[in-house]
Amino acid sequence: MRTLITGGAGFLGVALANYLVANGHAVRVLDDLSVGDPARLDGRVLFSRGDVRNVPTLWTHLQDVECVFHLAARVAVSESILYPQEYNDVNVGGTVALLAAMRDVGVRRVVLASSATVYGEQPTQPVHEGMRPNPGSPYAVTKIAAEHYLFTLGKLYGLEAVALRIFNAYGPGQRIPPSHAPVVPLFLKRALGGGSLVIHGDGRQSRDFVYVDDAVAGMAAASMTAAAVGQIINIGSGEETSLRDLVRRVAAATGREPAVLNNASQGAGVSRLVADLARARYLLGYEPRTSLQDGLRQLLAKDPQFDRTRVLAG
């Protein structure tokens, strides 16, 4: 299969690109490098720097492509509250530009990396795809808008579209920016460096942490399974983990006992979020393989960011 991955120099994009080329597929990546780093891409991946909102750029990179994985996006929930217009431009505008360019070039298959954040606060858990979305941030709104464009324009243009609602992915290569850092790598780094872990709210809020290899397997399966076309599908671990539990797992994986600071005044996001995987299992044969404990161990072993001497040196 000849594929294009937008945002393919980012955390999930690199993992997906390297998995696909290792399995014999031809992979192009388009990324503006606002965040991404192409250095981690396998040498067989064809990398180009460019903005996903630029239709002529897309025309060039879509030639002869059979399937697009659309990952290019701004991804930090808290940052989206500060810069909603930027998030809308990239996440919604980029999706619309891509779908129009696909129509122009005649590329039919597209897998959208949507997000579990579209569920927001729900009355029951685990969350399934039939529930009414309840987005609680501009980021979540951009993802539900992108889904609507995907299926509306997809139908009008005759595209084979799949939207994956990915839960909290973690694994090697995930960046730890100074602000808005994802919780798993942030906690690991703080624990290894002797710092304290800050929990917003009371720490009872739960999330579904899915190891990157499982998320990649879900994306790959979605691109190759006819039954997935026209569907929204959850991709998670199906395991509910509270932030307090995560602290315990981080302590076990690192062999440290980090101090925990509770910042009760800070918003903790939704109280619970865990994936119902029935549809992913049924349509994709998807089965998460890596437990959180194993995933944390693999992450520490494989990601040079967590080299203990480097972490301790600051």
Please give the residue ranges that form the binding site for ligand NAD (CB under 6 A). Answer: 6-7, 9-13, 31-36, 51-53, 71-75, 90, 94, 113, 115, 166, 168-169
Minimum distance between the CB of residue 291 and ligand NAD, rounded to whole angstroms? 17
Q: In residues, how long is the chain? A: 314
Closest separation between CB of residue 218 and ligand NAD, Å?
11
C-beta of 91: minimal distance to ligand NAD in Å? 7
DSSP 151-214: HHHHHHHT-EEEEEEE-EEE-TT----SSS--HHHHHHHHHHTT-PEEEETTS--EE-EEEHHH
Please say which residue, 58 or 247, places its beta carbon nearer to ligand NAD: 58
Shortest Cβ contact with ligand NAD: which residue? 10
Q: Of 53 and 190, which has the nearer Cβ to ligand NAD?
A: 53
* Tokens 């998995």 -> residue: 19
Closer by beta carbon to ligand NAD, 269 or else 312: 269
Strand partners, 47: 29
Three-class SS state of 241: strand
CB of 225 to ligand NAD, least distance (A): 19
Contact in structure between 288 and 169 (CB atoms under 8 Å): no
The residue from 119, 139, 149, 211 that is catalytic is 139
Nearer to ligand NAD, 211 or 306 (CB): 211
Q: 170 catalytic, yes or no?
A: no
Give the residue ranges of DSSP H helices in 225-307: 243-254, 278-279, 292-302
Q: Taking Cα atoms as reference points, which of 129, 118, 123, 112 lies closest to residue 276?
A: 129
Residues acting as catalytic residues: 139
